[in-house]
């Protein structure tokens, strides 16, 4: 996973009034937690453009008043009207301890089902994973080349070295459904629901046989 650097300044005061002043000068109030103590700081809004408006995930090296911290981006709050960034949360990490984060899904390949006139239905665009920071990829790549109409790929079917998938194993990520002209969308959704029901039944049967599955 690529590392991105952000510099910030420690905040001398916190609260709504202080945050409003920070935003007025083009900076964003931020919080870093998970370390020895919670750190409140601010950083220019432009610093976040690359890591916010992208499908990639990044490790972040924070330089706060000259002291460096390794972190993962946890949450970004946007203004409901202007869409400007108004607050950012980071979690401090250690490279010898596993972390939990969400990775974007990247779909590759030309599905045989699409070539037959099918339609892609993607249910999950991010997946929750656990791994050592050094083993985190930029994204989870899913090859749909062999996916035919009526077929799907579920979380439990993914096997990625050094990565533990935390979403429920029977949860569907992507499927190829039939596309039938004017009623294509309705037909496709009905087919997808049927596929999901079949996946759920399959998972229930596996549980009854003692197979362990992940819970949300």
Domain identity same for 52 and 112:
no
- The pLDDT tens digits for 62-111 are 999 999 999 998 889 999 999 899 999 999 999 999 999 999 999 999 99
- Which helix (H) or strand (E) segment is 39 a member of? strand 39-44
| Residue 133 maps to a domain | no
Q: Is residue 178 part of a domain?
A: yes
Same domain flag for 113 and 204: yes
Per-residue pLDDT tens digits for 15-57? 888 999 999 999 999 999 998 899 999 999 998 888 887 767 7
The model's pLDDT over 77-86, given as tens digits with 9 standing for 90+, comes to 999 999 899 9
Say if residue 87 is in the same domain as residue 108.
no
Give percent above pLDDT 90 in the chain. 62
Q: Which residues contact 204 (CB under 8 A, 6 or more apart)?
A: none
Residues 145 and 83 in one domain: no
Whether 42 is in a domain gets the answer yes
Within 8 A by CB and 6+ apart from 26, the residues are 44, 45, 46
Identify whether residues 81 and 111 lie together within a single domain: no
Q: What is the mean pLDDT of the chain?
A: 83
Do residues 91 and 71 make contact, with C-beta atoms less than 8 angstroms apart? yes
pTM check: above 0.75: no
CATH number at residue 9: 2.40.240.10
Query: Residue 216 pLDDT > 90, yes or no?
Result: no
Q: 26 and 111: one domain?
A: no
214 in a structural domain: no
User: Could you tell me if 110 and 47 lie in one domain?
Assistant: no
154 lies in the same domain as 63: no
Is residue 216 in a domain?
no
Do residues 199 and 153 share a domain?
yes
Same domain flag for 114 and 204: yes
User: Which residue range is the domain that position 86 belongs to?
Assistant: 3-93
Distances (CA, A) of 69 to 11, 54, 98, 100, 125: 16, 22, 16, 17, 29
Answer yes or no: do 36 and 110 share one domain.
no
Do 154 and 110 share a structural domain?
A: yes
CATH number at residue 198: 2.170.120.20
């Amino acid at each position: 996973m690529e590392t991105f650097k952000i510099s910030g300044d420690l905040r001398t005061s916190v609260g709504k009034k202080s945050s409003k002043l920070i935003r007025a000068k083009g900076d964003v109030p931020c919080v870093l937690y998970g370390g020895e103590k919670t750190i409140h700081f601010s950083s220019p809004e432009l610093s976040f453009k690359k890591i916010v408006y992208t499908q990639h995930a990044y490790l972040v090296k924070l330089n706060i008043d000259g002291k460096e911290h390794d972190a993962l981006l946890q949450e970004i709050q946007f203004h409901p009207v202007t869409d400007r960034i108004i607050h950012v949360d980071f979690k401090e990490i250690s490279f010898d301890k596993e972390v939990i984060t969400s990775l974007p899904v990247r779909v590759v390949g030309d599905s045989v089902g699409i070539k037959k006139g099918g339609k892609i239905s993607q249910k999950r665009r991010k997946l929750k994973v656990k791994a050592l920071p050094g083993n985190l990829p930029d994204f989870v790549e899913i090859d749909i080349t062999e996916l035919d109409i009526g077929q799907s790929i579920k979380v439990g079917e993914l096997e990625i070295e050094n990565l533990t998938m935390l979403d429920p194993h029977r949860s569907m990520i992507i499927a190829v459904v039939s596309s039938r002209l004017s009623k294509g969308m309705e037909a496709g959704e009905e087919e997808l629901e049927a596929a999901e029901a079949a996946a759920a039944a399959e998972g229930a049967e596996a549980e009854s046989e003692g197979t362990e599955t992940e819970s949300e």
